[in-house]
């Protein structure tokens, strides 16, 4: 029996496609928290992604998603507790696997997610040694293998180009896919969505650089990070265009908040207080009832306790005060 034959009898493909998109939207991360499409997605929200999902259903194949993410840990010691993946990455990988399995309830072949690990794309801009990025990716692969999350795969700059030098690979990426920086600056000046993305990227760059630039004022760091933020966006788009060319039918996920009708779907990996926070910019705090992603400094300000696993810092725990009975 073919995989397609295992679909529920009498369920039109269009209806199944809508259900899968609805499931994906449960974890959608919108740039505008007040967007009415957050509470009730409109028909345009569905239409943007419908044809891609439908093609997989018609072929009886798993629905394929691309997720540029999991680059490397932030260098800011106020955000993270180490350079290697910890409980945050582990929970995120398990969630992505669970999401693929939830899709199988609607569409028997389920889904597959290819993590396009982009650490080497940005390492030089962030001041992260390429060896640290390689170690992060190797540990992430070990987590995937250990958990048996067979619906999750990894793809990186090495897979795309396979050259000896990461500097050469980055140069080839920008040469082939990068838009001119002046064109990008013009777009940020004139387009509200592009400006919001730039502002979010710039804020993160400043946060990561201030603790590492002793003796330099925050205004000086902010000015320097503006140029870095433009280059980050340039390379992010270049990387996205490259993997888009390689996997043209795949649905596009993003760890960054996206607008409701964008071609990419902003996707929450873990519950967080900050819409922009990710496992590689934060730590897990477990209060016995739920886990939340926050910055390391916030966890320590709340007097959370650090937990070690396998000889490395893993996450924080904090006992939530009992609520008074009414």
Instruction: Give tens-digit pLDDT for 100-150.
Output: 999 999 999 999 999 999 999 999 999 899 999 999 999 999 999 999 999
Give the domain range for residue 246: 4-271
Inter-axis angle of helices 119-126 and 130-147, nearest 10: 140
Quote the pLDDT of residue 274.
76
**Which pLDDT belongs to residue 325?**
46
What does the alpha-carbon distance between residue 89 and residue 280 come to, in Å, rounded to a whole number? Answer: 8
In a domain, 8, yes or no: yes
Q: What is the CATH number of the domain that holds 256?
A: 3.40.50
User: Is 287 in a helix, a strand, or coil?
Assistant: coil
Higher-pLDDT residue of 120, 200: 120
Whether 201 is in a domain gets the answer yes
Statement: residue 4 has pLDDT above 60: no
Retrieve residue 196's tokens: 């919001």
- Residue 232: pLDDT over 80: yes
Within a domain: 72: yes
Question: Is 310 a member of any domain?
Answer: no
Record the pTM.
0.89
Q: Which residues pair with 253 in a beta bridge?
A: 265
Evaluate whether residue 299 is within a structural domain.
Answer: no
Rounded CA gap, 84 and 73, in Å? 7
Q: Let me know if residue 212 belongs to a domain.
A: yes
Q: Classify residue 267: in a domain, yes or no.
A: yes
Q: What is the dihedral of CA 152, 156, 158, 161, to 10 degrees?
A: 110
Torsion of CA 180, 183, 189, 192, to 10 degrees: -90
> CA 291 to CA 93: how far, in whole Å?
15
Q: Tell whether the model's pLDDT for residue 9 goes beyond 60.
A: no
pLDDT value at position 323? 59
Residue 11 pLDDT class (50, 70, 90 cuts): low
Q: How much is the CA Rg of the chain, to the nearest whole Å?
A: 20
Q: Does a structural domain hold residue 266?
A: yes
Return the minimum-mean-pLDDT range out of 86-95, 99-108, 202-211, 217-226: 202-211
Across 82-98, average pLDDT: 97
- The total domain count for the chain is 1
| Residue found under tokens 């597959």 | 112
* 278-295 average pLDDT score: 94
């Amino acid at each position: 029996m073919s995989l397609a034959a295992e679909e529920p009898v009498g369920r039109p493909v269009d209806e199944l496609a809508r259900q899968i998109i609805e499931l994906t939207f449960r974890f959608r991360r919108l740039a505008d928290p007040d967007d009415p499409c957050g509470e009730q997605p409109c028909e345009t929200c569905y239409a943007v992604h419908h044809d891609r999902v439908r093609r997989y259903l018609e072929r009886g194949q798993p629905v394929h998603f691309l997720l540029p993410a999991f680059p490397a840990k932030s260098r800011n010691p106020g955000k993270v507790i180490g350079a290697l993946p910890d409980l945050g990455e582990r929970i995120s990988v398990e969630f992505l696997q669970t999401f693929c399995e939830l899709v199988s309830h609607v569409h028997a072949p389920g889904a597959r997610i290819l993590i396009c690990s982009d650490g080497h794309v940005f390492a030089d801009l962030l001041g992260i040694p390429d060896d640290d990025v390689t170690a992060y990716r190797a540990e992430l692969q070990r987590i995937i293998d250990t958990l048996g999350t067979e619906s999750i795969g990894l793809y990186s700059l090495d897979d795309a180009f396979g050259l000896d030098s990461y500097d050469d690979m980055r140069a080839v990426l920008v040469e082939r896919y990068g838009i001119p920086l002046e064109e990008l600056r013009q777009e940020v000046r004139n387009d509200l969505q592009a400006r919001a993305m730039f502002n979010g990227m710039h804020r993160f760059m400043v946060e990561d650089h201030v603790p590492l630039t002793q003796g330099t004022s925050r205004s000086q760091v902010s000015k320097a990070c503006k140029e870095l933020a433009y280059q980050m966006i340039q390379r992010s788009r270049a990387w996205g265009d490259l993997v888009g060319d390689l996997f043209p039918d795949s649905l596009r996920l993003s760890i960054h908040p996206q607008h409701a009708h964008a071609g990419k779907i902003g996707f929450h990996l873990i519950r967080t207080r900050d819409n922009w926070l990710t496992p590689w910019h934060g730590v897990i705090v477990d209060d016995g009832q739920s886990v939340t992603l926050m910055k390391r400094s916030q966890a320590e300000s709340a007097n959370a306790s650090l937990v070690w696993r396998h000889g490395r810092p893993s996450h924080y725990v904090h006992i939530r005060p009992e609520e008074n009975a009414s």
